[in-house]
Amino acid sequence: MAHDASPVDESRLKWYQGLDRYCWVVLVIAALGWLFDTMDQNLFNIVRSPSLNDLLRQQYGLTAGSPELKAAVADKSGIITAIFLIGWSAGGFVFGILGDKIGRTGTMILTILIYAIFTGLSGSPLVQTWEVYGFMRFMTGFGVGGEWAAGASLVAEVFPARSRPMALGFLQALSAIGNIMAGLITRGISEVEGGLEANWRLAYFIGAIPALLVLWIRKSVKEPEAWHEAKSVGQELGNIKELFTDPVLRRNTIAGMLMGTAGVGALWGVGFFSADMLRGELLAGGVDAKTTSIRMSNMFILQNIGAFFGIYLFAVFSEKTSRKAAFYLFFALAWASILGFFWGVQGAGADAYVRACILATIMGFCALGPFSGYTVYFPELFPTRLRSTGCGICYNAARILAAGAPFALGKFAAAMGGFAQAATVVTFIYVLGFIGTAMGPETKGKPLPE
């Protein structure tokens, strides 16, 4: 049951007015869980190349700056990213079901502990080879994959219907703050003697801090009344088979998976390689490693400032028009913006920095926008007994389907002569987003399924 003690006409209230304190506690806690989650994800995106450069140079005895090392880093970058996405997907399946069976709050606690601990271990002395590094990233992804579905379900069930879409959009928009924090952390580390390549482990140690959030969750958040009601009437919670045997739920699940695959595949398969793209151009243009690392972080911060506004405005647009209209528009914008970034930056060399900052801000706005839609739309597709399971499947099954995208990007880039040519091929994954949007129902203005 929603918590809204407002005695006035609700139709005259803005989404953030007339809410009781508990709604805000839940939103803040869920937002922090997801914010730190995305911070940990993007610490990896920024330190991926420097960390692998350091690890592979020592593991294989390769010479710094050699063609053999560059080729090994490019190859293992795609593999490690795919491993991370597979772990993310596995966590989404497991914890999505657990979110319905044991509750949203308990699942959030488990997932935050897992992703925080294994983020810290990613920078530990245990990691001396890329294989061990891959295992740590898999386990980090396993925790990351479950947190979003539990948090989104929790907010959806606590907020009143009039406030739910914008609260969920705000939840997702704050994830961009986590991305920005990752950029600020790595920028600070880049200033340390030896730069990011010598000190990349420090970034992961900082990424373990979110584990402390668990203490606040245990003290402050209870399971939603809607979940208790579903449990009390004897409904089977988290039965994944029902998502594929019930005709309506099957359609919704397939539509959500296709939409999720488009956004996730393009962003993680191409968009989040923007830092690698800029790094390669600057180094090729003779810019020193320290300056390159600082500029990478600066660009990534701007990319996610754009993302914050794109994510929030997606939610606004979906409320003004419809969920499906918002998805159609932002999938088209995202496709164009990713191609604009990679074709605009490729070949610029030492001059890449300014244009990369401008184009990355636009790309962040457009390519991250649909992720607001996932947070708003997916909870509206499934009943309470299957909400966390359904959200977890749609958002994270996409990562299994999309896990090949970063690997394909590296292979295509090597075969076709550059990131831009490869991006042109990989971004055709947005076609799946248009198909999924056409299949899915319009949910604007409708109550959550019970």
CB 386 within 8 A of CB 243: yes
Residue with the two structure tokens 């606040």: 216
Q: Tally the C-alpha atoms within 13 A of residue 440's C-alpha that lie toward its C-beta.
A: 34
Domain ranges within the chain, ordered by starting residue: 20-439
* pLDDT higher than threshold 60 for residue 328: yes
Phi and psi at 103, nearest 5°, equal 115, 160
Mean pLDDT of 135-163: 88
Farthest-apart Cα atoms in the chain, separation: 71
pLDDT of the residue at 383: 92
Mean pLDDT of 403-431: 75
Mean pLDDT of 163-173: 90
* pLDDT higher than threshold 50 for residue 150: yes
pLDDT of the residue at 331: 97
pLDDT of the residue at 407: 64
What is residue 445's DSSP assignment?
A: T
CB 152 within 8 A of CB 171: yes
What is residue 321's DSSP assignment?
A: S
Residues 195-245 pLDDT 10s: 888 899 999 999 888 888 887 887 888 888 878 787 777 667 878 889 999
pLDDT of the residue at 408: 67
Residues 266-316 pLDDT 10s: 887 777 778 888 988 999 899 998 899 889 889 989 998 999 999 999 999
Mean pLDDT of 160-188: 89
Residues 74-118 pLDDT 10s: 889 888 988 988 888 888 888 888 888 888 888 888 988 998 899
**Alpha carbon distance 187, 196 (integer Å):** 8
What is residue 2's DSSP assignment?
A: -
pLDDT of the residue at 1: 47
* pLDDT higher than threshold 50 for residue 450: yes
Domain 20-439 has CATH 3.30.420.40: no
* pLDDT higher than threshold 60 for residue 137: yes
Q: pLDDT: is 384 or 248 the higher one?
A: 248
Q: Which of 52, 142, 137 is nearest to 92 (CA)?
A: 142
Mean pLDDT of 152-159: 89
pLDDT of the residue at 337: 95
CB 330 within 8 A of CB 369: yes
pLDDT of the residue at 363: 94
pTM exceeding 0.85: no
**Alpha carbon distance 7, 19 (integer Å):** 11
Structure confidence at residue 6 as a pLDDT band (50, 70, 90): very low
Q: Which of 231, 89, 208 is nearest to 146 (CA)?
A: 89
CB 331 within 8 A of CB 433: yes
What is residue 447's DSSP assignment?
A: P
Opening angle at CA 441, ends 238 and 254, nearest 5: 50
Determine which of 16-20, 177-181, 223-227 has the lowest per-residue pLDDT on average: 223-227
Residue with the two structure tokens 């795919």: 82
* pLDDT higher than threshold 90 for residue 372: yes
* pLDDT higher than threshold 70 for residue 4: no
For 196, 303, 415, the CA distances from 78, given in Å and listed in that order, are 20, 21, 14
pLDDT of the residue at 196: 84
